[in-house]
Amino acid sequence: MIPPRRRAALARRRTLCYPFRPPHEFRLFPNFRLRVRLRPIEIRKSKIAKPGYFSPDADPAVMKAFYEANGYLVLENGFTPAQVEELKRETTLICRGERGELPDHPKADPAEPDDSVLSRYLCIHFPHKLSAVMEGTFHSAPTVKTLTTIIGPNVKGMQSMLFIKSSGKPGQAWHQDEDYIPSRDRTLTGSWIALDRATVENGCLWVLPGSHRPGILWEQRWHGDRRFDCAEESVNFPFTDDQAVPVEVEAGSVVFFNGYLLHRSLPNQAPAGTYRRSLVNHFMSCESRMPWGKTPDNEHNAHYDYRDIIIVAGADPYAYRGYTSIQTPSVRPSGQGGCDKWGGAGNKYSDDSAPKA
């Protein structure tokens, strides 16, 4: 008598050994009475997680080790389907102007369908200044747990971007976020919350694993490439496009990535009427002062500390400096109407037929 566990193991082995579909039952030898019953081949869903993809209960030490080596990780199910639905509803209200009018974008007519409104936007900066629901994502427990694992016990948030990226909208060329939001200890971390399933087709994030490690901010140049919006492209780094990894994720997953990691996204090429929505928040250690933006009264850069922040974990050693509100929400141009409003006046796409005025 074969014990049940051994029988199950043998059955599994038989399943694995026959890559073709064998007759359901056959005799090995005509005079041999043992009948071997072969089960139809099973295509089982792999239980092996993709490297860098973690569940909320994953071992923090393993997550940290992957993050330190690669500069990113994916937290699967970081937000529940109900939370994602609420964030999508809020996205629509923000785009319609129902959470406050956006610069140069009057409130939508109530009769205008949501799809028509949403398709006007590539991205809205600082949505957390408009919406308590958006700001709430800074404090979500799985996010904070991951941030304290990869940054340290004291964490502050300072920036958010709400990508709508409807079909046909461009991506962002290779860049490092510390080029825009400087930390003093290389702890800048993006949390990229997928509100739709993000795929290569609809313009998911691509990363160059390990590219954060040299700790160098590479030179940036205008790219002139219609696949990308008006932000410049990092160049002259020792990595090639074929080393890039697409970070495809389900809605509710969160991609955490280091501020020195080279990353980009390509245009949304999915069918019309679809979106690749994501909410990206930025954080760093509270210990890092932040010389971001214009210093008031010509204060020395090294002394300046941007204080439009939200403490999400631990303590702020500079709390005595107080807190303030500096940024206001804005709409990021897609480049489809030119780049003048992005401080890129004179930046023309390679197929621009006529120079802009």
Ligand X SMILES: O=C(O)CCC(=O)C(=O)O
* Binding site residues, ligand X, CB under 6 A: 161, 163, 171-172, 177, 190, 192, 203, 205, 263, 265, 278, 280
Task: Give least dist CB 235 to ligand X, A.
Answer: 16
Given a contact cutoff of 8 angstroms between Cβ atoms, the answer to whether 208 and 244 are in contact is yes
282/289 with CB nearer ligand X: 282
172/183 with CB nearer ligand X: 172
Given a contact cutoff of 8 angstroms between Cβ atoms, the answer to whether 129 and 327 are in contact is yes
Residue type, 258: N
Task: Give least dist CB 303 to ligand X, A.
Answer: 27
Task: Give least dist CB 229 to ligand X, A.
Answer: 9
Given a contact cutoff of 8 angstroms between Cβ atoms, the answer to whether 158 and 290 are in contact is yes
CA angle centred on 56, ends 277 and 264, rounded to 5°: 35
- Residue 56, phi then psi, degrees to nearest 5: -60, -25
Distance CA 278, CA 195 (A): 5
Task: Give least dist CB 71 to ligand X, A.
Answer: 13
Distance CA 333, CA 343 (A): 11
Task: Give least dist CB 334 to ligand X, A.
Answer: 11
Q: Which helix (H) or strand (E) element contains residue 185?
A: none
108/282 with CB nearer ligand X: 282
3-state SS class at 147: helix
207/312 with CB nearer ligand X: 207
Q: What is the chain's length?
A: 357
Q: Cβ-closest residue to ligand X? A: 265
Tokens of 114: 């949501």
124/280 with CB nearer ligand X: 280
Partners of 159 in the β-ladder: 282
108/190 with CB nearer ligand X: 190
Task: Give least dist CB 263 to ligand X, A.
Answer: 6
